[in-house]
Structure 1
Amino acid sequence: MESNRTRVEGVFLVQAEERSNIELLKEIAEFLNEETEMEQMLKGALRKLLEGTLFETGWIFFINEKGKQELIAHENLPKALQQNDCRHLQKGGCWCVSRFQNGELEKASNIIECKRIVHSRKTSSKDYDGITHHATVPLQSGQERFGLLNVATPNTIRFSEGELALLESVAFQIGSAIKRIVLTKQEQQVALVQERNRLARDLHDSVNQLLFSVTLTARGGIEMTEQQEIKDTFKEIQYLTQEALTEMRALIWQLRPKGLENGIIEGLKGYADILGLALSVNVKGVINLPARIEETLFRIAQEAMNNVRKHSGVLQVELYLTITPTDVLLVVKDEGRGFHMNELNSLRSLGLQSMRDRAHAVSGTVDWVTEWNKGTEILVRLPY
């Protein structure tokens, strides 16, 4: 009789746990469906997973095709792992990342003592809160893999099959949500390109043609009058209109660059020609960059050449491009008038903040080396 009661109680406990897991999965699914920003979505999903289970800490790596990893989200990390911007989690070897890169990690798995956690305990005086082992599961959608979800609990070296199954279900939901956001971003990018093309056509067909007409009118005015004062006025109108026409053509080219399909170097040479700049280019390495990095680099170089034309007082510019296995380095240099570095805050018209914002959007940096009457160098580093 006692045995039957124990069996029944066990069944009820299992059923209660299953109901709890289903409710958690439903809550996480609803949250994932509402979010549109990647990092916010990952952090929120990780937080809900920890709140609804016995897992107490977790972190998510994104890992690209080259094996480069990025700690994209984490929750409730012990102080030893949080130290120095989570340096211990991001550096050194790791079984889970190695298995992921080798295609050997296909489902949720218990991990033996983690090398990175062990290293943090040996080198840090901070508390590690009893975290020694973790479970890991790949984040993927179909055959497309994005990274890893890792979770841990103090003083726990192994998780049950039920806990690993739940972790796998959550990872499947997160992987699908990642894919949805990636596709949405791609659609937005396509829409942005289409809008740029439309605006470029409108500018070319309307404003550009009007400016060209004003130029011709001013030229006719110069020939029709004998009064020097009026001639000078028409000449000034012609000059200003021609400058505006050059600016407009450069703007249209920025919106819809011709020649970029032949590579970033050819594209930049074409833009320099439009601005009337003599561009010399030096390249080290093979140019094979992701589309987003190439466009960011292209836009920053455009802005830098705009600055040379408008503010340097010279029409010669040098461009140095170096591609390494992890970064692309760009230097844009002129021998013009330069400026004092303490003037940076007041030089918004130079587009310096725009360049910095573009670089930061892809985790890159932009710096300047300049001195009055000694030219300017713009230094760009973008990881990829």
Structure 2
Amino acid sequence: MHPTEFQNVKLLKEIAEFINEETEIEAMLLGALRKFLKGTNFVAGWIFFIDENGKHQLMVSENLPEGLKQNGCSHLKNGSCWCVSRYRDRELEKASNIIECKRIENILAARSGDNGGITHHATVPLQSGQERFGVVNVASPNTVTYSEGELALLESLAFQLGSAIKRIFLTKQEQEIALLQERNRLAKDLHDSVNQLLFSVALTARGGAEMAAQAEIKETFKEIQNLSQEALNEMRALIWQLRPVGLENGLLEAIKGYGEMLGLCVQSHISGVLNVPSHVEEALFRISQEALNNVRKHSGVHMAELFMNVSQTDVLLVIKDEGQGFIIDHSIQIPSMGLQSMIDRAKKAGGSVEWDSEIGRGTEILIRIPY
């Protein structure tokens, strides 16, 4: 075996060992890219994920020249280019030389930073079987055309990365299914045990209040009935949060159903086609649950309005009530744990939550999540 071939096999083995131990997509991609650049003549690299609509997302990058790193890698994150267009049009099937790179040409034309001698790059699609994920781009200074051996090595890297991406996706999917099954089991246990027990206590207290002759005893039974009914309502809300009944019929129906369970009338106003990924749908539902809980507990009203606008890039959800509102103390970062929970869920989905409230004029919660 030629020394170079031996080094390439050794490099691919080292990369395979690394990616097989990683469980997070970005860490796996970045670590593999670093090892590849260190073991080859390529100096810089970046990886795009490209969705089914052709929208690209910069996942990781390494050793970029200053011109490409400026403004948070804006030249890479924005606009179109040959490799993304060819990938989108299904014309990029193997590792290829890019004759013209629009992104590099832009930084040269704008004189917005040093290009590090990089004028061209090689690209290869990321895929596993028929499932496609994006592209890997690598480059070297003062190099226009990369050799067949370098392109073949790049294809081997892409094959490994594609298989690893698929493995991580499947693992996370299995974890989500296992979590859903555990939620369903816990919800069933709570419904069959605690929920039924609280219902029995409330029913018994009601009967005791009707039969008691003394006013003090009658009042005690009524208090027990009220407390057990409140606990029963909280338990039902918890079961809904564990197992959202109705989400299989759509996000809007699930939110309305949850509002009805809380004793709220939810009026909806929708614009755009509601067709978003399941993880965005669940995030919106969980945040809506918390928002409606706040309406029930703090607003003093029994009606809420829901406004939803779905664009090509994100979903804007507004939940509004005309209740008593609250004062936003800007010296306190987060007014309540409920709002903090909504912020955390939205942030996890890549979105944001804002709110506007005033005493006597109600509250608006604005949720925006990209997809």
Amino acid at match of 1:223: E
CA distance in 2, matches of 1:306, 1:124: 54
Describe how 1:143-182 pairs up with structure 2 within 5 A: 143-182=130-169
User: Are 1:29 and 2:16 matched, yes or no?
Assistant: yes
Seq. identity, %: 66
What secondary structure is seen at the aligned counterpart in 1 of 2:32? helix
What secondary structure is seen at the aligned counterpart in 2 of 1:330? strand
Aligned twin of 1:9: none
Contact 1:89 1:117 survives alignment (8 Å) = no
User: Are 1:345 and 2:333 matched, yes or no?
Assistant: yes
CA distance in 1, matches of 2:32, 2:334: 42
CA distance in 2, matches of 1:342, 1:159: 60
Contact 2:328 2:335 survives alignment (8 Å) = no
Aligned twin of 2:55: 68
Aligned twin of 2:65: 78
Contact 1:81 1:117 survives alignment (8 Å) = yes
CA distance in 1, matches of 2:324, 2:105: 55
Contact 2:334 2:340 survives alignment (8 Å) = no
CA distance in 2, matches of 1:194, 1:124: 56
What secondary structure is seen at the aligned counterpart in 2 of 1:342? coil
Where do 5+ consecutive residues of structure 1 fail to align?
A: 1-13
Contact 2:82 2:100 survives alignment (8 Å) = no
Aligned twin of 1:138: 125
CA distance in 2, matches of 1:211, 1:196: 21
Please list the CA deviations of residues 9-62 of structure 1 after superposition, one character each: whole Å capped at 9, or x if unmatched.
xxxxx7000000000000000001000011111111111111111111100000
Please list the CA deviations of residues 237-294 of structure 1 after superposition, one character each: whole Å capped at 9, or x if unmatched.
1111111111111111221122222111111111111000011000111111111111
Aligned twin of 1:263: 250
Where do 5+ consecutive residues of structure 2 fail to align?
A: none
Contact 1:139 1:174 survives alignment (8 Å) = yes
Aligned twin of 1:88: 75
Describe how 1:87-106 pairs up with structure 2 within 5 A: 87-106=74-93
CA distance in 2, matches of 1:36, 1:346: 33
Aligned twin of 2:343: 356
CA distance in 2, matches of 1:297, 1:346: 20
Contact 2:81 2:102 survives alignment (8 Å) = yes
The 10-residue stretch of structure 1 (196-205 or 84-93) with the greater mean CA deviation from structure 2:
84-93
Amino acid at match of 2:105: V
Displacement after TM superposition at 1:224 (Å): 2.8
How much is the aligned-residue C-alpha RMSD, in angstroms? 1.3
Aligned twin of 1:7: none
CA distance in 2, matches of 1:377, 1:104: 47
Aligned twin of 1:45: 32
- What TM-score does the superposition give when structure 1 sets the normalisation length? 0.94
User: Are 1:244 and 2:225 matched, yes or no?
Assistant: no
What secondary structure is seen at the aligned counterpart in 2 of 1:243? helix
Aligned twin of 1:304: 291
User: Are 1:369 and 2:352 matched, yes or no?
Assistant: no
What secondary structure is seen at the aligned counterpart in 2 of 1:159? coil
Aligned twin of 1:191: 178
Displacement after TM superposition at 1:342 (Å): 2.1
CA distance in 2, matches of 1:258, 1:22: 53
Aligned length: 370
User: Are 1:254 and 2:254 matched, yes or no?
Assistant: no
Please list the CA deviations of residues 62-115 of structure 1 after superposition, one character each: whole Å capped at 9, or x if unmatched.
011111111011111111111111111111120000000000000000101311
- What TM-score does the superposition give when structure 2 sets the normalisation length? 0.97
